[in-house]
Amino acid sequence: MAQIASMEAVVAARVPSAAVASTSARHTVVAGASLKGQNVHNLGGLSSAGVSARSLSLGGKKAKLEQRRVPAVSATIAAREVVQSSVDIPKLAEELDSASPLEIMDKALSMFGDDIAIAFSGAEDVALIEYAHLTGRPFRVFSLETGRLNPETYRLFDEVEKRYNIRIQYMFPDATEVEELVRTKGLFSFYEDGHQECCRVRKVRPLRRALKGLKAWITGQRKDQSPGTRASVPVVQVDPAFEGLDGGPGSLVKWNPLSNVSGTAVWSFLRTMDVPVNALHSQGYVSIGCEPCTRAVLPGQHEREGRWWWEDAKAKECGLHKGNIDSLTEPQSALGEKVEAADLFTGENVKTFARGDMEALAKGENREKSSIVVLYAPWCSFSQAMNDSYNTFADKLAGSKVVVSGNNITTKYCISI
């Protein structure tokens, strides 16, 4: 128990108190969650409490109360009373920009109490739940049940509920809207019409209903997930797209504790803490969504290339984070969009392979010599990084029975891949 109390004391000491300032981005928040009068039990060193939690709003109706067991503050730490304060969110984001995910999570939960919830997709954002658990504070989790998730994702939901002794609140799409969409356009209309309509029905609208019952929410967004759309995600912001419990623009705060953390660091944390993860990750899946719209990626591919792969790179967002579109018009070389750049692999010993050469090679024609072919795009940072070494490699093999060649996939003469 001493260790638990010590950890919580350290967390509380390291997280700065809320800043009070500004006139343009003030937000009224709950600065603590009171457990006064509630029974706190110690179960093998882990504290838990039966606390009342407001259920997520459905269709704008008043939220009902339900009993749920969630991790609570240790019995040795006095819970703070609810305090109202006005917070300058941009200033708070600046103050917390160098904070750890644990510190950011602790700040979010302490400020909003029962009026905040973690959005869990069933991917590596399970790290958010582990961080929330480590704060020792009560927390809520919700997920969008689209009806088309992978079986592995449902199994992870079950594991998470058992490990953390929580109940995930599932938000379902409107049955009438889903029926109408399927009856008029079929089960896989998104392969032809794009994914936006289906995502709007199955994800965006259910999310909107959920957020109407909250004052803040916590997401697993990271800047490195999608350079074209998430590169400037702050650790906390006034949600620019959705409204919260009080209604109107600016009524919802969005927390992104993993914003400045790399995917590699997230996975290191998950392994260290032995957190259950989606089994699809071991099969090459990185970004995980609905089953028809998610696939594994190859080594070196960006994680978002496993989502909606039949669409333009600029469209790889489902609408849940519409506030991050400020850089959609910027070059997205990491996602595969063509931009202007000087050609690569132009060494004198690198043979240029055009479409005809590639087709002949694929058919086994003209195989007097062995061939090494690099398929590249001049704007791709990975291709640029290997340019010099590949040219040197070609020089070393000059005059041998090996043909070293390059195929620029952005030209109209290249083989289709």
Positive or negative: CA dihedral 19, 20, 26, 32: positive
Can you say whether residue 405 is alpha, beta or left, with left for phi > 0 and alpha for psi between -120 and 50 degrees?
Answer: beta
Query: Which SS3 state, helix, strand or coil, does residue 278 take?
Result: coil
CA distance 280 to 297: 11
Cβ(302)–Cβ(292) below 8 Å: no
Catalytic residue, chosen from 290, 318, 380, 414, is: 318
Cβ(142)–Cβ(55) below 8 Å: no
Strand partners, 208: none
Cβ(67)–Cβ(39) below 8 Å: no
**Residue 414: active-site member:** no
Contacts of 320 (CB under 8 A, 6+ apart): 119, 203, 204, 207
Query: Which SS3 state, helix, strand or coil, does residue 42 take?
Result: strand
- CA-nearest of 7, 33, 191, 206 to 111 is 33
Structure tokens at 365: 């024609």
Contacts of 368 (CB under 8 A, 6+ apart): none
Eight-state DSSP code of residue 284: T
Give all strands of the β-sheet with 216-218 in edge-to-edge order: 169-171, 141-144, 116-119, 216-218, 253-255, 236-238
Catalytic residue set: 318
